[in-house]
């Protein structure tokens, strides 16, 4: 039989196929899409069908999404059209998208064009607006402030030996790994050196245990954090555990790290915030940290070992506490925001 009988439509012209697809205004959970199409039969278009899929990586289960509808049926609105909220788009994730034009028939069925070509794009990181929402959630659980006097960094002996031999004793910033929120704008981009500052409740000193090695570099707090540094909120997450982590960034004013953070992260008042403060009392700098979150502090410039001390710790290496490339628990109500997962 010929085409017109199969479809039960009398000799209708075929609908125009979208081509030259453009994706713009990409955020962590939305994008705009537009395309060109022939003007022939354009007036018959009532709907667009949009097929959006996460770009499969080679080893993922190909059948996982088979029964999940990925097609969005949208009324034919003027282009560009904004796509948001119909799927939980994840931040920093690669997607493929294809479109067809459709004409709704009297009986409710659709006549559709051929599919367009497939376009690939990647969603964006969290914006400052999203990070501010995370910041507000973190403030709720930060708890009361405890005094601290030092920042510290645990590593293996080999690390410190290497720094002395190859870097003239200056620890170098390195690119932050992918632990924490999937949409975090600092993961894989910000360069810095990780420090801890949490203290033991009873002693006011750093804990003797660490997941990161038996040797500890300790440095007086004011050498890293003072009125010549800016403080930024970087992330808030947990890893299927009862305790939560907050990442803060300390950047010397005007440094490359400071410029990077200024554009992407909410800035905190160093004297007055819920996580880490630095204030002067009687001519002396006094420091406090939040009791109920584990702070991970990233310092964005090199730090010379001569500014502090390196010594072996007496406690255990608690590997279970390591956060290297740790995945955030996407179901935790405390530390997730409602935008792209």
Residue 192, preceding bond cis, omega within 30 degrees?
A: no
Written as six digits, the tokens of 302 are 């090199």
For 67-94, what is the mean pLDDT? 78
Residues in the chain: 341
Pull the structure tokens for residue 264. 């992407």
User: Chain centroid to CA 106: how far?
Assistant: 46
Which tokens go with 140? Answer: 């709720």
Widest distance between CA atoms in the chain: 94
The confidence score (pLDDT) of residue 171 equals 95
Residue 236, pLDDT > 80, answer yes
Sign of CA dihedral 273, 279, 281, 286: positive
Pairing label, strands 215-220, 191-196: unpaired
Statement: residue 84 has pLDDT above 50: yes
Mean pLDDT in residue range 285-304: 95
pLDDT for res 68: 47
Using an 8 Å Cβ cutoff, are 309 and 218 in contact?
yes
- For residues 222 and 286, the answer to whether their CB atoms sit within 8 Å is no
Residue 44 pLDDT: 87
Which of 6-10, 15-19, 316-320 is least confident? 6-10
**190-218, pLDDT tens digit by residue?**
999 999 998 877 777 887 777 777 899 99
Please tell me the distance from the alpha carbon of residue 17 to that of residue 12, in angstroms, as a whole number.
15
Average pLDDT, the chain: 85
123-134 pLDDT tens trace: 888 889 889 999
Residue 124 burial by Cβ neighbours in a 10 Å radius (0-12, 13-18, 19+): buried
Is the pLDDT confidence value at 340 over 60? no
- Per-residue model confidence (pLDDT) at position 62: 46
What average pLDDT does range 18-39 have in this prediction?
Answer: 91
The pLDDT of residue 3 is above 60: no
pLDDT of res. 21: 94
Sheet with strand 81-84: strands edge to edge: 19-24, 30-36, 81-84
Domains and CATH numbers, the chain: 19-123 (2.60.40.10), 128-312 (no CATH)
Q: Which two tokens stand for residue 300?
A: 């964005």
Inform me whether the pLDDT recorded for 230 exceeds 90. yes
Predicted TM-score (pTM) of this structure: 0.81
């Amino acid at each position: 039989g010929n085409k017109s009988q199969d479809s039960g439509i009398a000799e209708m012209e075929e609908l125009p196929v979208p081509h030259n697809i453009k994706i713009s205004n990409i955020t962590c959970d939305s994008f705009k899409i537009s395309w060109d199409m022939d003007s022939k039969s354009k007036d018959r278009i009532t709907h667009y069908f949009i097929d959006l899929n996460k770009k499969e990586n080679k080893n993922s289960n190909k059948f996982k999404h088979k029964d999940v509808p990925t097609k969005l049926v949208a009324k034919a609105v003027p282009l560009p059209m904004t796509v948001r909220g119909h799927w939980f788009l994840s931040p920093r994730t690669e997607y493929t998208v294809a479109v067809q034009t459709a004409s709704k028939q009297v009986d409710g069925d659709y006549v559709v064009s051929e599919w367009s070509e497939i376009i690939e794009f990647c969603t964006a990181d969290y914006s400052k607006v999203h990070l501010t929402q995370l910041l507000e959630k973190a403030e709720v659980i930060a708890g009361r402030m405890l005094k601290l006097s030092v920042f510290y960094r645990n590593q293996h002996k080999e690390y410190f030996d290497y720094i002395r031999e190859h870097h003239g004793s200056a620890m170098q910033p390195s690119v932050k790994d992918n632990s924490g929120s999937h949409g975090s704008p600092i993961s894989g981009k910000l360069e810095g050196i990780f420090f801890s500052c949490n203290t033991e409740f009873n002693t006011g000193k750093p804990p003797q245990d660490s997941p990161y090695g038996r040797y500890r570099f300790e440095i007086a707090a004011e050498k890293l954090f003072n009125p010549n540094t800016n403080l930024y909120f970087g992330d808030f997450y947990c890893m299927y555990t009862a305790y939560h982590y907050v990442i803060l960034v300390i950047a010397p004013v005007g440094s490359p790290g400071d410029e990077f953070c200024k554009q992407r992260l909410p800035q905190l008042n160093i004297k007055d915030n819920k996580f880490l403060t630095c204030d002067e009392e009687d001519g002396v700098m006094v420091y406090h940290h939040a009791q109920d979150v584990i702070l991970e502090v990233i310092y964005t410039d090199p730090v010379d070992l001569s500014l502090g001390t390196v010594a072996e710790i007496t406690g255990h290496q608690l590997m279970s506490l390591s956060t290297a490339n740790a995945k955030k628990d996407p179901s935790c109500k405390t530390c997730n925001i409602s935008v792209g997962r």
